Amino acid sequence: MTTTATQNFLAQRVLGAKPSATKEMTQLANQLRLEGRDVITLSQGEPDFPTPEHIREAAKAAIERNESKYTEVAGTLALREAVVRKFKRDNGLDYSPDQIQVGCGAKQVLYNALQATLNPGDEVVVPTPAWVSYPEMVLLAGGRPVIVRCGASTSFKITPTQLEEAITPRTKWLMLNSPSNPSGAIYSHAELAALGEVLLRHPHVWVMADDIYEKIRYDDTPFATPAMVTPQLAARTLTINGVSKSYAMTGWRVGFGAGPLELIKAMNLVQSQSTSHTSSISQAAAVAALDGPMDFLPGFVDSFRQRRDKVVAALQAIKGLTCDVPPGAFYAFPGCQGLLGTRDQSGNLIETDTDLALYILRTAGVAVVPGSAFELPGHFRVSYAASDTELVEAMRRIAAACSALR
């Protein structure tokens, strides 16, 4: 088949969606590396620590016990019970095991929920900057992402007024992510309560709370999640979390969601006709993660905090960039408006954040992700989940590249 014939063969909803920009930048960086360039990748969102030993041991034991058969679609009962304990212990939320779905990462749980609930044209409010996959997953499910841009002036968070204005009779979901990828912003208890008040006035709108970065926070403020803050909302809230970020388990592919039984049942139907479930061995490892000691976590968080402080200070010192100190996750999200409209050494115009990210990659050999990928142009995202040596060198190179712009 020719390319055009193949293009015609593809589904409209797939043609309308974009591949993940973070993965694309990483691929471009890998390509340059293959060409012999020395490239530092700060475009990936994963901890660089090894998975803690007791979790690895639990996986080995599961292999030795020959836990190699299909599991229940929703996840093993042992894991769902461990998830129930996690939500009770950490968030004060009460669920039964049949209100839990385990998927191949939080990503699949989000995807299942959108597939299970969206009819063509249904709207999903996505406050941005937001994780690159939210709008695309909504599109793939036939829905319409309603992008609400939330800039530095509101610490990258949606306000009750913005939410009120975004809601229409077609709105199905509000997607909230705290701590946020890419801004690191965290919604306080009071901010969630104020958003909850708006939602209580609109009973047709449900909340998808993506708490995947819950454990990566740098101050002592207690963590808040919508179902806990506004209990009346729990019956229309899907609370999503997982082991990828908190336990350095991105490749194991285990995430989970908790919500009303009928929603979880519909999500299980979607999963039963796609992946069935995530790996049985990964599920055994996740039980050990959730029920096991957390003594490794302060070390992870301290290490991220030190890197954050160095990276943010380095970015703040670059003329043309602005950067707030992010309270959570492992990303910095500097504003780069001050560098747009400049020209590089060959006279090429740096018009957009994407031009700047590509310039930084080609000239400095550092891969970052433009803010427009997260639906908030005029910024870029730096992941500081990288080694200290790489970060110091990357900041030196970014500073040199930016100061060469005229």
**Interface residue with ligand PLP, options 42, 45, 125, 334 (CB under 6 A):** 45
Least distance CB 182 / ligand PLP (angstroms): 8
Name the residue nearer to ligand PLP (CB basis): 248 or 312.
248
Q: Which of residues 150-209 bind ligand PLP (CB under 6 A)?
A: 177, 181
Q: Which residues pair with 145 in a beta bridge?
A: 124
- List the x/- string, 342-371, binding to ligand PLP by CB under 6 A: ------------------------------
User: Taking CB under 6 A as the rule, does residue 107 contact ligand PLP?
Assistant: yes
For residue 350, the surrounding DSSP H or E stretch is strand 349-350
Least distance CB 342 / ligand PLP (angstroms): 30
Q: Which amino acid does the sequence have at 56?
A: R
Name the residue nearer to ligand PLP (CB basis): 105 or 377.
105
For residue 176, the surrounding DSSP H or E stretch is strand 171-177
Helices H, strands E: what count in the chain?
Answer: 15, 14
For residue 148, the surrounding DSSP H or E stretch is strand 144-149
Q: Which amino acid does the sequence have at 299?
A: G
| d(C-alpha 18, C-alpha 201), whole Å | 34
| d(C-alpha 380, C-alpha 373), whole Å | 9
Span from 13-21, 102-110, 273-281, 292-300 in contact with ligand PLP (CB under 6 A): 102-110
Please give the size of the binding site for ligand PLP, defined by CB under 6 A. 13
Name the residue nearer to ligand PLP (CB basis): 210 or 353.
210
User: Taking CB under 6 A as the rule, does residue 136 contact ligand PLP?
Assistant: no
- List the x/- string, 207-226, binding to ligand PLP by CB under 6 A: ---x-x--------------
Report the greatest alpha carbon distance in the chain. Answer: 64
Alpha-carbon dihedral sign for residues 180, 185, 187, 191 = negative
Q: How far apart are the first and last CA of the chain?
A: 48
Q: What is the DSSP string of 38-67?
A: --EE----S--SPPPHHHHHHHHHHHHTT-
- List the x/- string, 236-275, binding to ligand PLP by CB under 6 A: ------x-x-----x----x--------------------
**Interface residue with ligand PLP, options 87, 95, 111, 131 (CB under 6 A):** 131
Least distance CB 177 / ligand PLP (angstroms): 5
Span from 103-111, 152-160, 275-283, 309-317 in contact with ligand PLP (CB under 6 A): 103-111
Name the residue nearer to ligand PLP (CB basis): 166 or 212.
212
User: Taking CB under 6 A as the rule, does residue 106 contact ligand PLP?
Assistant: yes
**Two tokens, residue 313:** 């200070």
Q: Which amino acid does the sequence have at 300?
A: F
Least distance CB 338 / ligand PLP (angstroms): 27
Least distance CB 351 / ligand PLP (angstroms): 28
Owner of token pair 């471009």: 28
Owner of token pair 């019956």: 235
In 201-346, which ranges are continuous DSSP H helix? Answer: 226-229, 261-272, 280-291, 297-316
Q: Which amino acid does the sequence have at 370?
A: P
Q: Which residues bind ligand PLP (CB under 6 A)?
A: 45, 105-107, 131, 177, 181, 210, 212, 242, 244, 250, 255
